[in-house]
Structure 1
Amino acid sequence: MKKIGVLGLGKVGSLVATLLSTKYEVEGMDQAKSNEEFSFEIKIGDVSIDKTIREFLKDKQAIVSCLPYFLNIKIAQTAADIGVHYFDLTEDVPTLNAIQEMAKNSKAVMAPQCGLAPGFIGILGAGLYNQFSEIRAVKLRVGALPLHPMGQLGYSFTWSADGVINEYINDAEVIHNGERKMVSSLDDVESININGRQYEAFSTSGGLGTMCATLDGKVDTLNYKTMRYPGHRDGMKLLLYDLGLKNDRKTAKEILMNALPLVDDDIVLVYAAVEGKIDGQLRRKEFSESYRNIEIEGKDWRAISWTTACSISAVVDLVSEGKLKNKGFIKQEEIPFDLFIESHFGTMYEKFKDDK
């Protein structure tokens, strides 16, 4: 793998391209010209035009999509047709299912959901539960938040607004009492304390990726929840359900984008807990870390941007180096945690964890 294309050069995509360009020949594509200077070549193009994408992919060995979830199926199909390795950040379940079906006949790798959640959290969760001979419960939690919350929502869109709304509205898959089932997002609220600060966590769609299928019949409890500051869930439920904007995502996005300005300082929280038996003894293993802004190549990058970008860049790199399979569908939980965290880009999770 020498030449890699990156589609979508927003908050995360531009950093993915920046990181990968330190090891590979990278070319990015976006619909608009950026005022920033980057270390990789950029083309302007409309990704919805088939001819544009095929022309862009013709000299590439891999494509990384950092586009909104609703654009990914077409990109993935084109990559599969051409035989180019495909990676994305989607949390959307229908998109995942479509790509998993495409992968059955693909001559290249198809690895969706390579971001933070799904993505890193799945690799981490598997790294914990693989230490157990018998698994009782797997609980995964991630929060991407402004460092200094204001107002009831206490939130800022440091990543895709479309993705946030999508995961709040679509149902979430879980394993409860040993059975796979769907539950309503924004429900099953719990209180969680991390580093002495109180947060709320609630069900959201897509965070488990393919893990429910992987652990079906092997675990009593498996769930993923998003962490927010207390009060956020009630405000979003009012907006989306009581006011009916779940049926008008465009208006919901406009209202939220206008109300919640982008902030420079953010924090990413990652928590995972697994219960079960090790050597016949009931045990519980946990992982809890937080991440803050860092500087890369002279630029300040938000925590959500670099944690997401490092995750997908690490998976791309592991495929390139032959440490993961070179064709077909890759589940995040199939990626060995030790291999991931010791990789060129994965080490950033250890190097830049927040010690405050």
Structure 2
Amino acid sequence: MKNILVVGLGKVGSLVGILLNKRFSVTGFDQRQPAQKLPFPVILGDVSDEATLTKTLDAFDGVVSCLPYNLNLPIAKAAYELGVHYFDLTEDVPTTTAIREMAATAQSVMAPQCGLAPGLIGIAGADLAKRFTKLRDIELRVGALPRYPNGLLGYSFTWSPAGVINEYLNDCEVIANGVQKMVPALDGIEVINIEGQEFEAFSTSGGLGTMCETYAGQVDTLNYKTIRYPGHAKLMRFLLYELILKEKRALVEQILTEAKPPVQEDVVYVYAVVEGWNGTELAREEFYRAYHPRQIDGQHWRAISWTTAGSVAAVVELVADGLLPQKGFIKQEEIPFDAFLETRNGQAFRKELIITEA
């Protein structure tokens, strides 16, 4: 895998291209010219034009889609038909299900869900789970937040508002009392204390990826929750359900985008807890990191941008190095965390920040 097409050059896609360009030959693809100057060529085109998309993609070995979840399937389909390795950042369950069906007969890698959640959090959680002879609970938490919040929501849309709304509305897959089931988003609110700061966490859709299937029959509890400042879930429930705006996603997206623009100083919390037995001894293992903005090639990048971009870039590296299967569907929880952390881009997720620049 040498030539990679990055589709969608927004907040995350531009950085995915920058990171991959340090090793691969990268080309971008977007409807319009990116606002910033990028160190790789950009093809202007419309992903809804299937003929143009297929013709363009045929010249590449891999494609990374950084588009909103609802635009991924045409790219995945073209990659499948051409035998091109496919990666994306989606949290959307129906999109992933459709890609997985294609992957059953694919001659290339089909790897959706390569962001933070699903993605990094599942890789970290599965690594903890391997340390036990018998599992009891796997609880995964991720929050992408403004470092200095204001207002009642205590939030800023540093990534796709459409993706956030999708997570807040779709039901969530969990394992509870040993049974695989669906629960409503914005429910199951709990209090979390991180280094003296109080947060809330609640169920949101898609964060587990395929983990419920993988750990069915092995755990009593498996769930994913999103971390927010206290009171956020109550206000979102008011907006979506009491004001009955859940059927007007475009309107909600417009309101929230205008009300809560992105901030430069953000923080990403990644927290995984696994409990189980080693022989007869009950034990608990934890993974916790707080990631902050970074300077990359002299430019400031938000924590949500570089963690998301770095995660998918690390998975691309693992496929290129032959450390992951070379065709079919890749589950995030099957990705070895040690190997992930050894990649050029995975190094940034270590406790001690180690970055090898070009």
TM-score (norm 2): 0.97
- 2:346 corresponds in structure 1 to 346
How far apart, CA to CA, are the structure 1 residues paired with 2:244 and 2:353? 41
Letter in 2 for 1:208: L
CA distance in 2, matches of 1:6, 1:338: 26
Q: What's the % identity of the aligned pairs?
A: 57
Per the TM alignment, residue 306 of structure 1 is displaced from its structure 2 partner at its CA by 0.4
Q: Secondary structure at the match of 2:270?
A: strand
SS of residue in 1 equivalent to 2:218: coil
After TM superposition, list the pairs within 5 Å mapping 1:34-53 onto structure 2: 34-53=34-53
Residue by residue over 1:197-237, the C-alpha shift from the partner in whole angstroms, topping out at 9 and shown as x without a partner, is 11000000000000000000110000000000001111100
Deviations 1:50-108 (A, max 9, x none): 01211221110000000000011111011000100000000000001001100001000
Say which SS state the counterpart of residue 105 (structure 1) adopts.
coil
2:239 counterpart residue number: 239
Where do residues 20-99 of structure 1 align in structure 2 (5 Å cutoff)? 20-99=20-99
Partner of 1:117: 117
List gaps (5 residues or longer) in structure 1.
none
2:106–2:328 CA contact under 8 A, matched in 1: yes
Q: Supply the distance in 1 between the matched residues of 2:165 and 2:72 (Cα, whole angstroms).
A: 17
Find the aligned partners of 2:261 and 2:87 in 1 and give their Cα distance: 29
Aligned position for 1:182: 182
CA distance in 1, matches of 2:245, 2:35: 34
The CA deviation at 1:352 is 3.5
In 1, the alpha carbon distance for the partners of 2:196 and 2:56 equals 49
Query: For residues 287 and 321 of structure 2, what CA distance do their matches in structure 1 show?
Result: 28
1:129 matched to 2:137? The reply is: no
- CA drift at 1:341: 1.2
Question: Per the alignment, in what secondary structure is the counterpart of residue 247 of structure 1?
Answer: coil
Q: Tell me the distance in 2 between the aligned counterparts of 1:346 and 1:313.
A: 8
Alpha-carbon deviation of 1:262? 1.5
Query: 1:143 aligned to 2:162?
Result: no
| Partner in structure 2 of residue 312 of structure 1 | 312
2: CA distance, partners of 1:237 / 1:291: 28
Does the 8 Å CA contact 2:319/2:326 hold for their aligned counterparts? Answer: yes
Say whether the 8 Å CA contact 2:273–2:287 is kept in structure 1.
yes
- Determine the C-alpha separation between the residues in 1 that align with 2:224 and 2:292: 22
Rounded to whole Å, the distance in 1 between the matches of 2:33 and 2:325 is: 36
2:321 — aligned with what?
A: 321
**Kept in 2: contact 1:294–1:352 (CA 8 A):** no
Distance in 1, Cα, partners of 2:102 & 2:264? 39
TM-score (norm 1): 0.98
1:270-300: CA deviation from partner (whole Å, max 9, x where unpaired):
1000000013210000111100000001110
Provide the rounded CA distance (Å) in 1 between the counterparts of 2:34 and 2:330: 32
Deviation at 1:332, TM superposition (A): 0.1
Q: Is the 8 A contact 1:291 1:352 kept in 2?
A: no
For 2:294 and 2:65, how far apart are their aligned partners in 1?
23
Asked whether 1:19 is paired with 2:34, we answer no
What residue number does 1:213 align with?
213
- May I ask how many residue pairs the two structures share in their alignment? 353
Partner of 1:228: 228
Determine whether 1:281 maps to 2:281.
yes
Equivalent AA in structure 2 for residue 105 of structure 1: T
Q: Distance in 2 between matches of 1:77 and 1:18?
A: 25
Q: Which amino acid aligns with 1:95?
A: T
Separation in structure 2 between the aligned mates of residue 148 and residue 190 of structure 1, nearest angstrom: 22
CA shift, 1:38, in A, is 1.0
Separation of aligned partners in 2, 1:198 and 1:348: 26
Give the letter for the 2:336 counterpart: P
AA aligned to 2:323 is K
CA contact (8 A) 1:128 1:285 kept: yes
SS at 1:32 equivalent: coil
SS of alignment partner, residue 114 of structure 1: coil
Using the alignment, how far apart are the partners of 1:23 and 1:52 within structure 2?
27
Return the alpha-carbon distance in structure 2 between the equivalents of residues 234 and 56 of structure 1: 45
State the AA in 1 paired with 2:161: A
Q: Which amino acid aligns with 1:116?
A: L
How many Å separate the matches in 1 of 2:301 and 2:132?
36
Which residue in the other structure is 2:256 paired with?
256
Amino acid at match of 1:283: A
Partner of 1:268: 268
Question: Quick one: distance in 2 between partners of 1:140 and 1:3?
Answer: 34
Q: Deviations over 1:91-129 (max 9, x none)?
A: 000001001100001000000000011000000000000
Distance 1:256 1:283 in 2: 42
Q: Deviations over 1:21-54 (max 9, x none)?
A: 0000000011111231111111111111101211
**Hey, what's the Cα distance between the residues in 2 that align with 1:179 and 1:312?**
31
- In the alignment, structure 2 segments of 5+ residues that lack a partner are none
Question: Within 2, Cα distance between the matches of 1:130 and 1:184?
Answer: 29
3-state DSSP of counterpart to 1:99:
helix
